[in-house]
Amino acid sequence: MKNESKIKLNNMLVTNMLKIAFNTSHTLLFDHVVFPVIEKGIKSALNRVPGPVTWPGVMEDKYYMFRSMAYSSMKIGASSKFASTVISKAMLSDLRMKKEIEFRGKFGFDPPGFMVISPAKRCNLRCRGCYANSASEKDQLDYGTFTRIIEEMRELWGARFVTVSGGEPLMYKWHGKGVLDIYREHPDSLFLMYTNGTLISDRVAGELYDLGNITPAISVEGMQEVTEQRRGKGVFEKITRAMQILKKHRVLYGISVTATRHNAEEIVSDKFIDYYFNELGAAYAWVFHYMPIGRDVDPDLIPTPDQRVMLWEKSWEIVKKRKIMFVDFWNHGPVTDGCISAGRPGGYFYIDWQAKVYPCVFFPYAAANMDEIYARGGNLNDLVDLPLYSHIRDWQFKYWKEGDLLRPCPIRDHYRMAKKFVLDTKATPSDEVTAAIIKDAEYERKMDDYDRELAKRTTPIWKDIYLNGNRRR
């Protein structure tokens, strides 16, 4: 049988198996018969396509994360339309295979796998320290640019996964059209929408269910007290109501959390996990450690190096023992083979409301603007070889071979090097704050101290558990 036919047959079998799994997710059959088959499927998929970094501990992390991903989403259950979008369109796509070959022929490596787009800077909340506080209606992405980017991702890269961030995406309005129109007009793309949740009504949840290609991730900071300290009084109730509405409409949703020095312990506590996952029915969590960019920059809010190691340990307990998809964006570097920025294979670029293109959401220095690229007749592929992005990618490729993936982030964990990339390539700061911090010696000293202290703690873990494959403590 030809290779292409084999892949098609394999995709058909996996599709049917996953459909059965989604339909049996609340039964004993699921736990004792269907899920063990899925676990075997994950192991064999990882053996076939292990990714560029294959150290024993890295492969173990990948297995447990994929297992939690499958378990969490199937256990919660979702509309069959959503399940089918995930399975047939985003996960098992023949289109991707074809486009990978074309892209590889041109650039020598596989294309990016997704994109993060923030179409509007503004927001209906006034959270402490958030840049969206100063936004106006003008800070919005042209609808034509927005939709064209999604079309080109598909056409040039075979990529159909789009993360929509903000500001508040549901505040986006361009000549009467909003994000729901984007989701409707791209039925074969899958969208993850970061939202504060306060604009999710029964009507909106019903639409999300009907569209079947969006999963919202609602921002929380911890339990009620911590969440309202940052987001404002009364917000917690609105957020939890939105979660109940989404659950009622069978829209698969998750939470997103910013870890700081103040809430690090709370967000991995049993109370937190039981409340959001067992009581309210969230299917996943994305944890982002506080990044000192944007307004009210404060490097002292970053979880300390000791807290970072504590979060690494606790998050794996949640993933392995409770089978909850609890993704800690930096600590789980081994799962993604490290940094996913700068359009690396399977990675992404970040585009903001002014169409500026950054290596990633947390790397606030841009090398291009999509509106300008389109005005001169270009397309998304014009981004690939720009010096800032290729500097970062060359580093990523080298890091695959010799780096500690528990410190995967150029801008956070290797600040001096990232700063050099920014200065050497004359990248444009996202705003006056990021323009100032790149010249700030005290900021650099704090980031550098953090990087050094972190390395002291993660290097022994990396060697022992990941390279040598010894068991976790």
User: Of residues 363, 395, 399, 466, which one binds ligand SF4 by CB under 6 A?
Assistant: 363
β-bridge partners, 177: 174
Going 263 to 269 to 275 to 279, the CA torsion angle's sign is positive
Q: Is 341 in the site for ligand SF4 (CB under 6 A)?
A: yes
To ligand SF4, the closest distance from the beta carbon of 392 in angstroms equals: 7
To ligand SF4, the closest distance from the beta carbon of 339 in angstroms equals: 3
Q: Which is nearer to ligand SF4, 109 or 275 (CB)?
A: 109
To ligand SF4, the closest distance from the beta carbon of 359 in angstroms equals: 6
User: Of residues 411, 422, 454, 465, which one binds ligand SF4 by CB under 6 A?
Assistant: 411
User: Of residues 22, 253, 362, 466, which one binds ligand SF4 by CB under 6 A?
Assistant: 362
Q: Which is nearer to ligand SF4, 311 or 340 (CB)?
A: 340
To ligand SF4, the closest distance from the beta carbon of 334 in angstroms equals: 12
Q: Which is nearer to ligand SF4, 197 or 333 (CB)?
A: 333
User: Of residues 90, 164, 339, 427, which one binds ligand SF4 by CB under 6 A?
Assistant: 339
- Distance separating alpha carbons of residues 271 and 220, to the nearest angstrom: 14
**Eight-class DSSP state of 189:** S
**Which segments within 213-340 are labelled E, that is strand?**
214-220, 254-259, 284-289, 325-328
To ligand SF4, the closest distance from the beta carbon of 115 in angstroms equals: 13
Distance from chain centroid for Cα 222: 19
Q: Which of 83, 93, 25, 120 is nearest to 209 (CA)?
A: 83
Q: Which is nearer to ligand SF4, 327 or 409 (CB)?
A: 409
- Distance separating alpha carbons of residues 262 and 270, to the nearest angstrom: 17
With beta carbons less than 8 A apart as the criterion, state whether 170 and 196 touch: no
Q: Is 360 in the site for ligand SF4 (CB under 6 A)?
A: yes
Buried b (16+ CB within 10 A) or exposed e, 276-308: bbeebbbbbbbbbbbbbbbeebebebbbebebb
Alpha helices by DSSP H, listed for 249-386, are 270-273, 305-321, 370-375
Q: Which stretch binds ligand SF4 (CB under 6 A): 90-98, 138-146, 408-416, 421-429?
A: 408-416
To ligand SF4, the closest distance from the beta carbon of 157 in angstroms equals: 17
**Nearest 10 degrees: CA dihedral of 408, 360, 364, 353?**
-160
To ligand SF4, the closest distance from the beta carbon of 342 in angstroms equals: 8
User: Of residues 122, 412, 414, 419, which one binds ligand SF4 by CB under 6 A?
Assistant: 412
Q: Is 408 in the site for ligand SF4 (CB under 6 A)?
A: yes
Q: Is 427 in the site for ligand SF4 (CB under 6 A)?
A: no
Structure tokens at 79: 């509309």
Q: Which stretch binds ligand SF4 (CB under 6 A): 215-223, 406-414, 429-437, 442-450?
A: 406-414
To ligand SF4, the closest distance from the beta carbon of 310 in angstroms equals: 20
- Distance separating alpha carbons of residues 34 and 29, to the nearest angstrom: 6
Would you tell me which residues interact with ligand SF4 (CB under 6 A)?
A: 339-341, 359-360, 362-363, 408-412
